[in-house]
C-alpha cells in the first residue's frame, strides 16, 4: 500500500495495536501486521475485514491511500489475477480454506 505522505514509526506501531476507525460500537480494529516497505509504503496483514478498513485506518492518522493492492485472501494467493476477474480455487486451496473455517 502507498500513502500520499510518509508514515512514522509511531503511526505504524499504533496501527499494529488497533485503530479507532469510528464505525459502530466495535471499538478498535483488531491488531494487525504492518511492515514498512519505504517512507510511505507498508504491507498490512489484517485478521478482520471491516468496510474500507485500511483506508479508514490511514485516515485516522491523516494519511490518504493512493495505491492499494490485495495480494491474498486467507490462504488464497491472488497472483496476477486482473482487477474484476475471478478464478476457481485449486483443490488444495479449497481443502485448506474449509479446514481453517472448521467446515
Kindly report, residue by residue over 60-88, the tens digit of the pLDDT: 999 999 999 999 988 899 999 998 999 99
Rounded to an integer, what distance in angstroms lies between the CA atom of residue 67 and that of residue 2? Answer: 5
Q: How many domains does the chain have?
A: 1
Between strands 41-45 and 72-73, the pairing is unpaired
**Which domain, by its residues, includes 53?**
2-100
With 80 as the cut, is the pLDDT of residue 5 above it? yes
Cα angle vertex 47, ends 90, 100, to 5°?
Answer: 40
Residue 15's domain is classified under what CATH number?
A: 3.30.2350.10
Predicted local confidence at residue 34, as pLDDT: 97
pLDDT at 23 over 80: no
pLDDT for 24 beyond 80 = no
Identify whether the C-beta of residue 43 lies closer than 8 Å to the C-beta of residue 1: yes
If you average pLDDT over residues 3-24, what whole number do you get?
A: 92
For the record, the C-alpha cell of 37 comes out as 516497505
* pLDDT tens track for 27-62: 789 999 999 999 999 999 998 888 899 999 999 999
Q: How far is residue 44's CA from residue 33's CA, in Å, rounded to a whole number?
A: 5
pLDDT at 26: 74
Amino acid at each position: 500500500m502507498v500513502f500520499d505522505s510518509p508514515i512514522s514509526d509511531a503511526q505504524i506501531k499504533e496501527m499494529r495495536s488497533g485503530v479507532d476507525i469510528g464505525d459502530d460500537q466495535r471499538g478498535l480494529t483488531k491488531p494487525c501486521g504492518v511492515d514498512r516497505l519505504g517512507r510511505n509504503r507498508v504491507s498490512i496483514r489484517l485478521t478482520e475485514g471491516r468496510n474500507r478498513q485500511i483506508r479508514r485506518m490511514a485516515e485516522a492518522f491523516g494519511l490518504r491511500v493512493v495505491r492499494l493492492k490485495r495480494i491474498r485472501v486467507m490462504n488464497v494467493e491472488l497472483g496476477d489475477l486482473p482487477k474484476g476477474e475471478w478464478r476457481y480455487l485449486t483443490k488444495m486451496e479449497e481443502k485448506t480454506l474449509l479446514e481453517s473455517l472448521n467446515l
